[in-house]
Structure 1
């Protein structure tokens, strides 16, 4: 047995001529390959459904389904298109060669063929197949790792939204990739308020996702700690923003990672909202009467520089008012007309009828229609809170 340049493989020889099948199979077997033979295109396609092969040697001229048709069907089948195909024919015309290559053949040999050339081309195709198989295994391994990362990241988002009498709350979280740099959070504070977070870590992918976990943990751990009795919302917000900012800037400054974040504490009973907007897209408050106002910046993004100064803003949500916090993936969503933009977002908020969830559905529909099926370029996160009743009416 002659040594072969590649590991033994399983080959399928397809030829209606018994002598050609015999010659090809003996040549391949001498190189250590396992060989199966069939005498027609129909039998080849049936066999390929039952058995995995590493290489196909396919005769061009056969009665019934000829080699061209078999090749075309192979390359149209996602499960088979990766198998290398060497076309074998007595025809040496350029037109036949071009046709086979255009259909996706990996090589072309004319009869009678030189055994050394046959082996060289078989080896080349099998090396290509091995490389493809290795790449697929690597991609599958990466996908598995991303699945694990996606599941872990999902654990950093709240399992359920806090129940607030007189309030209707809904959220959306749509990563552009397997893992995201966006995050949101809603949880009760020690003082009885509802802490609201909508944030976006710079960059995308795995790095942003890792820092998303760090930012989210710092924010929740700080805001949830047992503050001294009587500590008000302003102090909690400032402590949360300052500690998160300084830790990232001092410990991880060389990574140049930062997050824009909206941090708020809502008094569900009164509708009072205290907030820090750290470089984030200003959330919108829409009233049933048509008024629109934004909660502007009160400090820089978190993690850029230590010892930054933050201030606390204050607003009030009346019955019927809707608070919409979102990340820049909403307004910067790309379509054939450019970016979605704030004007389209405001247009989606013209009709405040229905629940908060229904409102987010309308925005999502507008984004999908604008993108016209294009792959999302950035993560999209939205948090909507609507005040449905005053405390005294409960």
Structure 2
């Protein structure tokens, strides 16, 4: 911002003081000068047009400079305008009061030309820097919002319909703690009778976690598709994670990693085969109402060690049984007292919602977490996925 570009407002009830100050500012190259003869006129002008700096006299009738300063700093649209207080009062108490009220600086009358030049220039430079930072922050916020939309668009929002040929009802949600997050989920039919689902959680937060999350999800999809093209045997979750892990370890200079639970359901038999790469164990909600975490011993997270192996385990589920998976952002959500939501609380809610459809089950858990944390900002992403096997279904759900 040059001196010619800067818009200055000079506020003083004394005509001689106004003339002296504006003449000196003019000599310094400040040509865009506006005059106000009292506090109320100054407030009107500040609301009517933008200014880069205000030079405000303290001792004025009707509304003094302290009162104007208070009103300006109490008005959101005006509070960032820098104000230099000017006064013939050479008292430290007056200076302290002005600074406490939010003044940028303080000048004594009569004006010292060198001091006037330095303080006006410094105040305008600080405003320029603040404006630049604010502009960059607004641009960054817009970019992060766009990144958030792109990230969420990568995750399924339309879920496979439950039907006699595809008897899995499923629903999931992911809410980043920040603009973008590192949690992920996916669910799709990897074959005519094979339903694939996963939930993952990348270490860290922000843009780097979001990019690693996108890489991990894409690798799972690619690996499943390649397996189906090149191998005739059934998909093996552990072998799939072996391959994904090797790729994630490649050129992983930042030592990023992701926990992941990957499951495959044979929709004819109800046989669940799965591999667990360091992720919280899912809950099984039996059609009888019995609920508990499945025995899914966790291996290393993906991306930690290239030669890590991920064993495949199996579990027989029965018609009407449901599975609930989530990230640790659910268990570890904290309220204002630092109390965690906990695995036990999730289990209690799932027992109460044992007969609920997946969409309702996810909503119940999410609403409970939101109510538990109240106004406390979350420090971790929240992801939840629920599915139910309905092989006897005769009509679409």
Q: Same fold by TM-score, threshold 0.5 exceeded?
A: yes
1:26–1:284 Cα change, 3 Å: same
Which position in structure 2 is the counterpart of 1:130? 128
Aligned CA-pair RMSD:
2.3
Instruction: Give 1:288-327 correspondences, 5 Å limit.
Output: 288-297=288-297, 299-327=299-327
SS in 1 for 2:59: coil
Give the conservation status (yes or no) of the 8 Å contact 2:239–2:310.
Answer: no
Return the alpha-carbon distance in structure 2 between the equivalents of residues 5 and 116 of structure 1.
Answer: 18
1:320–1:26 Cα change, 3 Å: farther
Which position in structure 1 is the counterpart of 2:363? 361
| 1:121-173: CA deviation from partner (whole Å, max 9, x where unpaired) | 11111111111112112222322332332233223212411112254422121
Shift of 1:175: 0.6
Which position in structure 1 is the counterpart of 2:349? 348
Displaced runs of 4 or more, over 6 A: 4-7
- Which of 12-21 and 50-59 deviates more? 12-21
Return the alpha-carbon distance in structure 2 between the equivalents of residues 269 and 25 of structure 1.
Answer: 87
Return the alpha-carbon distance in structure 1 between the equivalents of residues 261 and 4 of structure 2.
Answer: 58
Return the alpha-carbon distance in structure 2 between the equivalents of residues 145 and 293 of structure 1.
Answer: 40
Shift of 1:5: 9.0
- Which of 137-146 and 103-112 deviates more? 137-146
| 1:364-383: CA deviation from partner (whole Å, max 9, x where unpaired) | 23322332312211111111
Alignment partner of 1:181 is 2:179: no
Instruction: Give 1:1-394 correspondences, 5 Å limit.
Output: 8-33=5-30, 34-165=32-163, 166-225=167-226, 226-227=228-229, 230-233=232-235, 235=236, 237-249=237-249, 251-287=250-286, 288-297=288-297, 299-335=299-335, 336-352=337-353, 354-387=356-389, 389-391=390-392, 394=395
1:17–1:347 Cα change, 3 Å: farther
TM-score of the two chains, using structure 2 as the length reference: 0.89
Return the alpha-carbon distance in structure 1 between the equivalents of residues 315 and 127 of structure 2.
Answer: 64
Q: Unaligned stretches of 5+ in structure 2?
A: none
Shift of 1:45: 2.0
SS in 1 for 2:352: coil
Return the alpha-carbon distance in structure 1 between the equivalents of residues 3 and 147 of structure 2.
Answer: 37
SS in 2 for 1:339: coil
Return the alpha-carbon distance in structure 2 between the equivalents of residues 195 and 65 of structure 1.
Answer: 72
Give the conservation status (yes or no) of the 8 Å contact 1:61–1:89.
Answer: yes
Shift of 1:6: 6.3
Return the alpha-carbon distance in structure 2 between the equivalents of residues 295 and 76 of structure 1.
Answer: 59
Give the conservation status (yes or no) of the 8 Å contact 1:298–1:311.
Answer: no
Return the alpha-carbon distance in structure 2 between the equivalents of residues 99 and 216 of structure 1.
Answer: 58
* Count of aligned positions: 387
| 1:244-280: CA deviation from partner (whole Å, max 9, x where unpaired) | 011122x224331211101111234543322111111
Give the conservation status (yes or no) of the 8 Å contact 1:182–1:381.
Answer: yes
SS in 2 for 1:91: coil
1:391–1:134 Cα change, 3 Å: same
Give the conservation status (yes or no) of the 8 Å contact 2:174–2:382.
Answer: yes
